[in-house]
Each structure stands twice: as C-alpha cells, then as structure tokens.
Amino acid sequence: MSTPVMQSRESKTFDIEWVRGQFPSLKLQVNGQTPAFLDGPAGTQVPKQVMDAVQNYFLTANANTCGAFLTSRRTDEMIWAARAAMADLFNCDAANVVFGQNMTTITFALARAIGRELKPGDEIVVTTLDHDANVAPWRALEEKGVVIRQADIREEDCTLDLEDLKRKITAKTRVVAVGYASNMVGTINPVAEITKLAHAAGALMFIDAVHYAPHGLIDVKALDCDFLICSPYKFFGPHMGTLYGKREHLEKFKPYKVRPAADTPPDCWETGTQVQELIAGIGAAVDYIAQVGRHCDATVKSRREGLQAAYRATVPYERTLMSKLLEGLQSIPGAKVYGITDPKRFEERSATVSLRIGEHNPTEIAKFLGDRGIFTWDGNFYALNLSERLGVQQKGGVLRIGMVHYNTMEEVERVLAGLREFAAAN
C-alpha cells in the first residue's frame, strides 16, 4: 500500500506578507506583543473577506429561506453559491454538499441514519488514530447490536497499522470510518487506498477531513469515498461543518427530520434553520483560499484551479516551518515528539506537532508559552483513543504546536526559544 503524497510541485516564493495582510486578527496586541497563533488545528484565524461576507449577509440578505421576497431569495442564492464554493473545494457537484452545525453533529446524524439500515452483527471499522467525533457516533450504534472494530496504530511513528486495518475489514463491514489526517500527531492516512479496501469488502468509506482540509487539496472524485466531512473553522472560515456525500447515499439513507422540511437532498439533511450568516462566510473562506492560489499563480482561471495553486504553494511552505520546528525540538532537553520525524517522510504528515517535555504537564508548558504570547494547545484534543494508546492520557496529554500557511519562521523560532526557556527553568 503506497503512502499518500501531498502536492509538492514547485511554486513561486510564498508571499507571507500578503497572506498575513488578509487576517486582521494577526495584528492583535497582547501585553505589548503580537501573538503567535500556533493553535490552528483547534480553529484558524479568519481573513477579512470572511468577516465582510458575514456582515454583508446581515446588511443585505438576512431572512429565512424559500420566501417570495428579495432578502429571502438572496438567502437562497447565497446558500447555493456557498454550496458551489464547497463543491469546488471537494471537487463535486453543489447538490452533494450538506451544511451543519459542526462535524460532530453532522456525523452523529449521518451515523444514526445509516444505522437505521444496519442489523445486529454488522460491523463498522474505526481507528485508534481518530478524533472521537469519528468514533463515538459509530460506537453509538452498538446499542443496535452493531459491532465496532478498531484498527490500531504503529506506536513508533503514530501511523495507522494497515495490516491490522486490513484484518479488521471483513465481509460483515458496512462502514470504514477513517481520518484523512490526525489532529494530534499530523499523520496523513492513505485514504484512497483504504477506500479501495472498504469498497472491495462492500463497505462505505467515510473520511474525516477536518484536520486535513487546511493542509492539503481534497478531491472526492479521485478518492471515490462515499462521504467526506470537514469544518470550515479549521480552514479560515466560520464555526460550522460541511459534508460531501455521493448522491445515491444522500438519497438512500433517511435522516431524522421534521415532516414539513424538504425530503430531497441536500436540504433534507440540514435540520432546522441553518446559521445562514456563517454559510455566507464559508463561501468566502473557499474564495479566500482560491485567492491565495491566484496570488501565487496568475495563470489560474477557475476557482478549483485557484485552490489547486494555493495548496501547491502552502504545502511546501508549511513543510519548511515544520522542518525547522522538528529540527529545533531535537536540541530541547527532555523533549519527545510523537509521530513522524524523518524528513524523508514529511509528505506523510501535516505541520501539526505534538510533544512532551519530560514529565511536565503540557498545560504547564502551554501556560508558560501563553504568557509569552505564544498560543499552543495542550491535552488530548478529543483524540482520546490515541492519547490513551500513547500512554499520555493520565499525564495531561501532549503539547500541540499547529502551523498553517499564515504562520512564520519567526514564530517557529519564538516557540522554540520559549520551550528552551521552559526546559532550562524547570
């Protein structure tokens, strides 16, 4: 089974000044210093055009849907424009895009709908590497007699144990639920190959791309997955979730819904009134990423090409930040990094780095850095299976340093200096 390859085609010098200029919050001052936002995996900062789109919705289109008047029609148009934007991000048709409160809520609803078709003894495969939002909604089906099988990891590099995964997929498997990338250790899974394994067994493939979306180009057509889900607040948009589903599945599975609501997809999957102002922001977030692509490559024509060009530029840029961080961590006394550290394998991971320093509680380190204007995360980030498997759950988990394309080399140097200072003082 081959390993996944992120886009790595040569791009022009990455214009980090221009990028940072799009994000007003990066200029925030805390105690006289500019924060280093290294908390991206928990939610990224938002460019001005996303804020403007939300405000513009309230100013010009605020109404409920499907009414016979201007602002309602504008709302309907805006929602379909946002679906079209997400369709470009997923590489699918707009009718295959479902909006929802967040990934967790959508996944619970989808699992429940799929569960209606399952019988006792049917199996679902989840993994030790995944966020609990791609575990608990499937485990909830145990109430119906569904059997959950969990594929393990290889502890030494925090990658999926593919042999174990293959053993866990059987003729009884109905769904394989795997993350595209780990929000704790950054590992990128070979989801295209896993989709083939799932399909060969007659199972559906569900991909949690929440962590992957800000770090790599998604192409549901190439992956041939049945469902793929991500959360715009992780890729420079507002706090919501979005699902891609193959048309036949969105039609076949029946979501729990109120009777007067539409019976046809995608609407039937969108329970109640949506956060319409934020849907406006989702469209703008996708447009922002495409604009990064246009800024890097003037030959770009369509939005999808803009997205492709953006990731061609941001992937190698993020990798230089990650290389610098991982190299610097080697000289910090007591630092232990979890996940892939071999530079030759960096295409198998995103720029999300988790570590511990000796027996120090990661909250202590995050606080130390936070007091110095360096924003990182500590804990298990809801990747509970992984935190337990690595034996860190009882010890406060890990410290997570997450980099996205608006972070800088200077910020990496700042966090390394902060960690050096912490290690020397404690």
Ligand X SMILES: Cc1ncc(COP(=O)(O)O)c(C=O)c1O
Interface residue with ligand X, options 231, 314, 354, 380 (CB under 6 A) = 231
Amino acid at 144: K
76 residue type, one letter: D
Span near ligand X by CB under 6 A; candidates 27-35, 128-136, 267-275, 297-305:
128-136
105's CB contacts (< 8 A; 6+ apart) are: 241
Question: Is 11 a binder of ligand X (CB under 6 A)?
Answer: no
Binding of residue 241 to ligand X (CB under 6 A): yes
Contact segment (CB under 6 A) with ligand X among 69-77, 203-211, 336-344, 390-398 equals 203-211
Nearest approach, Cβ of residue 274 and ligand X (Å) = 15
Minimum CB separation from ligand X for residue 377, in Å?
10
Instruction: Give CA–CA dist 113/111, Å, rounded.
Output: 5
Q: Between residues 37 and 422, which has the closer beta carbon with respect to ligand X?
A: 37
Q: Are 321 and 409 in contact (CB under 8 A)?
A: yes
For residue 411, state whether it binds ligand X (rule: CB under 6 A).
Answer: no
Q: For the purposes of burial, counting CB atoms within 10 Å of the CB of 395, is it exposed (0-12), middle (13-18) or buried (19 or more)?
A: middle
Find the shortest distance in angstroms from Cβ 110 to ligand X: 13
Question: What six digits make up the tokens of 121?
Answer: 């003894």
Site mask for ligand X (CB under 6 A), range 84-123, x = bound: ------------------xxx-------------------
Q: Which is nearer to ligand X, 14 or 381 (CB)?
A: 381
The DSSP line for 289-340 is: HHHHHHHH-TT--SHHHHHHHHHHHHHHHHHHHHHHHHHHHTTSTTEEEES-
Q: How far is the CB of 132 from ligand X (least distance, A)?
A: 8
Applying CB under 6 A, among 122, 208, 277, 318 the residue interacting with ligand X is: 208
List the one residue from 149, 168, 174, 211 that touches ligand X (CB under 6 A).
211
Other beta carbons within 10 Å of 28: 13
CA distances from 318 to 45, 46, 136 (A): 16, 18, 31
Residue with Cβ nearer ligand X (217 or 296): 217
